[in-house]
């Protein structure tokens, strides 16, 4: 039943807004400027890294896993840009291939953490009561142990492979997102637009899905990059002590480990280049996360 235009004609003048740029709106170029600022240098770095990971075979010349003892410990040169390591493998090639493992395991595990933690967090905020209290205790338990320690125990017990590692890191990340989504969703329960949605007939699942969860996206997204940064450092740290990724799979942490013995002898390149890679990735991810968060705050 649509409104009758005749009825509309009876509406007396109600002060039409003056035609001019609306308050606070962004012109096209301003939006572009904003996007460029947010996704600038750190994003470029990550983009390069991702492309490197995908197109690894195209940008490297050597085999990343086959040793060649004749070529061991050659310094950086025209043929071996980052030199070779103690097994004679080209460091540059291994750094590039390691990007695959590091980025994908980190991203997958953090995503797993988000998928596990967010809905539970939203549900805990929405239902409250014993469920919320119980989830609080569970997250406290998980978070009270140092990650490395849990990782060592679990990997030793359940098998030292990438799948276990990913699942483990996912579970370790879940509490962060549970708490984050919960803390965003809690004050939302009483905010006016949620009440308005309930007045429009939303409840339970439709409310969570349409109104509450989308508002948790931004903090989750900015936390995502930062979690990835931590995950990469954790992966690198674990393989440094021999857990997680196994030899001869290229992984930044294990490469740093292998090369560590040779720094004393002046052969810095097997450790330093993967180290730079870890640093650059973690830094870019953290910067990106911070930028997204700051951009969201300005709204």
Partner 1 sequence: MTVRERVSERAGVAPGLRIRNLWVDIGKGAGAVHAVRGVDIAVQQGARVGVVGESGSGKTMTALAVLRVLPSTARVLEGEVTLGEADLFSLSNREMASVRGRQISIVFQNAKSALNPVFPVGEQISTVYRRHLGGSRSAARARAVEILEAMGIPEPARTAHLFPHELSGGMAQRVMIAMALVCEPAILLADEPTTGLDVTIQAQVLDVIATSLKRRSTSLLLISHDIGVVRGMCEELVVMYAGEVVESGALENILSNPHHPYTAGLIEAFMATDKPHYIPGHVPTLRRTFIGCSFADRCPLANETCRTIRPELRQLADARLVACHRAEQVGRP
Partner 2 sequence: MTAARGTPSPPDVATVSLDAREVVKRYGRHGFGNRRSIAAVDHVSVSLQPGKTIAIVGESGSGKSTLTRLLLNLEGVDAGEISFNGVSLQRMSSEQRRAYRQSVQLVFQHPQQSFNPMLTIGGSILDALRLRDDLSRREKQQVCGELFELVGLDPAMGERRRREVSGGELQRAALARALASQPKLIVLDEPTSALDASIRGQIVELLLQFQARSDLGYLVVTHDMRLVQLMAGHVMVMYLGQIVEEGPTEEILRRPRHPYTRSLIEAASLEGERVRAVVRGEVTTLAEDYQGCRFFDRCPFARKKCLQPQELAVTDDDRHVRCWRWRDVESVARETEVI
**CB under 8 A: which stretch of 10-18, 48-56, 74-82, 169-177 binds partner 1?**
10-18
Residue 299 as a binder of partner 2 (CB under 8 A): the answer is yes
Binding segment for partner 2 (CB under 8 A), chosen from 97-105, 139-147, 192-200, 270-278, is 192-200
Give the H/E segment covering residue 3: none
Task: Please pick, from the candidates 16, 190, 192, 205, the single residue that binds partner 1 as defined by CB under 8 A.
Answer: 16
Q: Which own/partner pairs from 64-67 qualify as long-range (CB within 8 Å, at least 24 positions apart)?
A: 64/89, 64/90, 64/93, 64/94, 64/96, 64/97, 64/250, 65/89, 65/248, 65/249, 65/250, 67/248
Q: Does 7 bind partner 2 (CB under 8 A)?
A: yes
Q: Which does 20 bind (CB under 5 to 8 A by kind): partner 2, partner 1, none?
A: partner 1
Please tell me whether residue 210 binds partner 2 under the rule CB under 8 A: yes
Question: What's the closest the beta carbon of residue 196 comes to partner 2, in angstroms?
Answer: 5
Report if residue 41 touches partner 1, rule: CB under 8 A.
Answer: no
- Least Å from the CB of residue 214 to partner 2: 5
Nearest to 69 by CA among 88, 89, 97, 94: 88
Give CA–CA dist 106/235, Å, rounded: 8
If binding is defined by CB under 8 A, does position 13 make contact with partner 1?
yes
What does the alpha-carbon distance between residue 110 and residue 121 come to, in Å, rounded to a whole number?
16
Asked if 9 interacts with partner 2 (CB under 8 A), we say no
For CA atoms 203, 209, 211, 216, give the dihedral sign: positive
Tokens linked to 186: 């809690």
State how far the Cα of 6 lies from the Cα of 11, in Å rounded to an integer: 10
The residue range among 83-91, 211-219, 245-253, 265-273 that interacts with partner 2, by the rule CB under 8 A, is 211-219
Q: Which of 193, 209, 279, 283 binds partner 2 (CB under 8 A)?
A: 193
Residue 183 CB, shortest distance to partner 2, in Å, is 17
Q: Are 55 and 100 in contact (CB under 8 A)?
A: no
| Radius of gyration of the chain from its Cα atoms, rounded to whole angstroms | 26
Q: Which of 259, 285, 226 is nearest to 89 (CA)?
A: 259
Q: Return the sign of the alpha-carbon dihedral for residues 97, 99, 105, 108.
A: negative
Q: Which does 11 bind (CB under 5 to 8 A by kind): partner 1, partner 2, none?
A: partner 2
What residue has token string 């339970």?
204
Q: Does 298 bind partner 1 (CB under 8 A)?
A: no
- The distance of closest approach from Cβ of residue 201 to partner 2 in the complex, given in angstroms and rounded to an integer, is 5
- When CB distances are held under 5 to 8 angstroms depending on the partner's kind, the choice from partner 2, partner 1, none that residue 30 binds is partner 1
Q: Shortest distance, CB of residue 35 to partner 1, whole angstroms? A: 16
Is position 35 an interface residue for partner 2 (rule: CB under 8 A)?
Answer: no
| DSSP E strands, the chain | none
Q: Which is nearer to partner 2, 215 or 249 (CB)?
A: 215
Q: How far is CA 98 from CA 45, 60, 77, in A?
A: 16, 12, 21
Provide the binding-site residues for partner 2, judged by CB under 8 A: 1-3, 7-8, 10-12, 14-17, 22-25, 191-193, 195-202, 210-211, 214-215, 217, 299
Provide the binding-site residues for partner 1, judged by CB under 8 A: 13-18, 20-23, 30
């Amino acid at each position: 039943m649509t409104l009758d235009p005749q009825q509309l004609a009876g509406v007396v003048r109600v002060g039409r807004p003056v035609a001019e740029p609306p308050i606070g709106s962004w012109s096209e170029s301003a939006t572009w400027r904003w996007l460029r600022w947010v996704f600038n240098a750190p994003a470029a770095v990550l983009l390069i890294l991702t492309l490197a990971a995908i197109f690894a075979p195209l940008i490297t010349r050597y085999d990343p896993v086959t040793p060649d003892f004749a070529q061991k410990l050659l310094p950086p040169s025209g043929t071996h840009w980052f030199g070779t390591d103690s097994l004679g493998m080209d460091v540059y090639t291994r750094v590039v291939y390691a990007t695959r493992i590091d980025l994908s395991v980190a991203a997958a595990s953090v995503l797993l953490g988000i998928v596990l933690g967010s809905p539970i967090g939203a549900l805990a905020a929405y239902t409250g009561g014993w469920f919320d209290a119980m989830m609080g205790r569970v997250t406290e338990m998980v978070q009270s142990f140092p990650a490395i320690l849990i990782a060592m125990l679990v990997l030793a017990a359940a098998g030292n492979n990438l799948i276990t590692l990913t699942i483990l890191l996912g579970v370790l990340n879940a509490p962060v997102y549970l708490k984050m989504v919960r803390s965003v969703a809690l004050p939302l329960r009483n905010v006016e637009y949620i009440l308005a949605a309930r007045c429009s007939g939303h409840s339970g699942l439709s409310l969570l899905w349409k109104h509450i969860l989308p508002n948790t996206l931004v903090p989750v997204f900015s936390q995502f990059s930062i979690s990835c940064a931590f995950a990469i450092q954790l992966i690198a740290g674990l393989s440094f002590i021999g857990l997680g990724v196994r030899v001869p799979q290229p992984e930044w942490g294990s490469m740093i480990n292998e090369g560590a013995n040779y720094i004393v002898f002046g052969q810095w390149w097997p450790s330093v280049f993967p180290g730079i890679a870890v640093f650059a990735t973690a830094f870019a991810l953290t910067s990106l996360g911070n930028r997204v968060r700051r951009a969201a705050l300005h709204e």
